[in-house]
Amino acid sequence: MTILTNNVLTIDNSALELITTCPRKAYFSLIRRRRIEAEQPALRFGGHIHSALAYRYKREAMLKPWSEEKQLTILERRFVATPCIDEGWRNLGMAQKVIQHYNEQHLLEPFDVLRGGSNNLPLVERPFALYMGKIGETSIVYTGRIDTIVKDIEGVFVMDHKTTSVMGPTYWQTTNMSEQQRGYCYACKESLGFEPTGYITNVLATRAPTKTGTSIEFARQRFYTKVPPGQLDEWRDNMLAQVDVFLYYHNKSIYPAHHYHCVHKFGVCEFYSVCEMPKDARESVLMSPAFKENTWSPLYHN
C-alpha cells in the first residue's frame, strides 16, 4: 500500500524528511513501498532502547513500580526476536549497559509522566493521526508517535528520546530547528487539547567501544514552542507547502533525483545501488531481493 490511497495522503516525519531530501527516494520508499533488505543496526538498537524506556515511563505514569531487571529482559527478548548479523557494537550487552547507566543518572526524574486522552492512558508511545486539510483533491493526514509527555515546574513538554553515536556541537542546533518536534507539539495541541510549553530532547549517546572503554553519555535540552506564539501554525503551513511540492511531482509522475544526498556522513543512500544503474536497469534492482516491502508506520511499529 502506498501512502497515497483514495486521495488521502498519509504522511509522517520520516516521510517529510524523504520528500524534502530527495523526491526520488520518497518515490521508492513511500509510493513503491521498498526498503533495503539488510537490517539497520542503528535503527534496531534505538528501537529496542525506546521499548525499555517506554516500559519504565508507562509504569511511572501509572504510579506503579518498575524494575531495571524487567527492562533488561525486554531488551533481551527484542534482540533475540530481531537477529542482525552485522550488529557490531550495537548489541544486547551494550543496550543493557546504556539502560543501566541511564537509570543511575536519571533514577529520580524531575517531572511527572502525564496520562490523558479519553481513556486516561499514560502519554507514552502515543500514536496520533491528524487531518490537516486538503491540497487540491487530496486530504492530508499527519501521523506520528510521541515518545512521552511530561510535566515539570516549567509546564508540559513533549519528550523525545534520541539514540545517537554522533553528538557534536551542531547536534543541538539541528534539534532546535526540528520539524519533527514542532510537529509533535502541534499534534499534542490538536489531539489532546492542550498546547505544550515546548519539547525536551533526551539524548542517549553511545559510541563504539575503544581500548579505553565504553563511551556512554546522556544529555537533555529543552526548546520552547508556545512562546513566542505562532511557531506551531508556521510549522503546519511549512509542512503543507512541502507536501504540496511533492504532490506536484506525483501528479506529473516525475520524481527529481537530489544527488547531493546520495552520499552522506554515515555512508550512502539505501537506494544507491538502484540509482547508480542505467535508467532501464533500475526497476529490476529495486524489485530484487536486495530490497523488501516497506511496511513501516509510526501508528503500528513496535
Q: Which of 54, 203, 269, 286 binds ligand SF4 (CB under 6 A)?
A: 269
Which residue's CB is nearer to ligand SF4, number 260 or number 300?
260
> Considering only CA atoms, which of 175, 206, 198 is closest in space to residue 88?
206
Interface residue with ligand SF4, options 16, 18, 19, 25 (CB under 6 A):
25
Size of the site for ligand SF4 (CB under 6 A): 12
| Cα(64)–Cα(62) distance, integer angstroms | 5
Show the site string, 201-240: x = touches ligand SF4 by CB under 6 A, - = not: ----------------------------------------
- Give the shortest CB-266-to-ligand SF4 separation in angstroms: 13
Between CA 133 and CA 255 the distance in angstroms is: 24
271 binds ligand SF4 (CB under 6 A): yes
Task: Determine whether 208 is exposed, middle or buried from the number of CB atoms within 10 Å of its CB (0-12, 13-18, 19+).
Answer: exposed
Nearer to ligand SF4, 151 or 258 (CB): 258
Q: Does residue 290 belong to the site contacting ligand SF4 (CB under 6 A)? A: no
For the chain, the first-to-last Cα distance in angstroms comes to: 19
Task: Pick out residues in 240-259 that bind ligand SF4 (CB under 6 A).
Answer: 257-259
d(Cα 54, Cα 74) in Å, to the nearest integer?
Answer: 11
**Helices (DSSP H) in 63-161: which residue ranges?**
68-81, 92-105
Cα distances (Å, whole numbers) of residue 14 to 169, 183, 218, 273: 24, 12, 24, 21
Q: Answer for the pair 270, 262: CB distance below 8 angstroms, yes or no.
A: no
Residue 33 engages ligand SF4 in binding (rule: CB under 6 A) = no
Instruction: Give the one residue of 101, 261, 290, 296 binding ligand SF4; rule: CB under 6 A.
Output: 261
262 is a contact residue toward ligand SF4 (CB under 6 A): yes
User: In the complex, which residues of this chain contact ligand SF4 (CB under 6 A)?
Assistant: 22, 24-25, 257-259, 261-262, 269, 271-272, 275
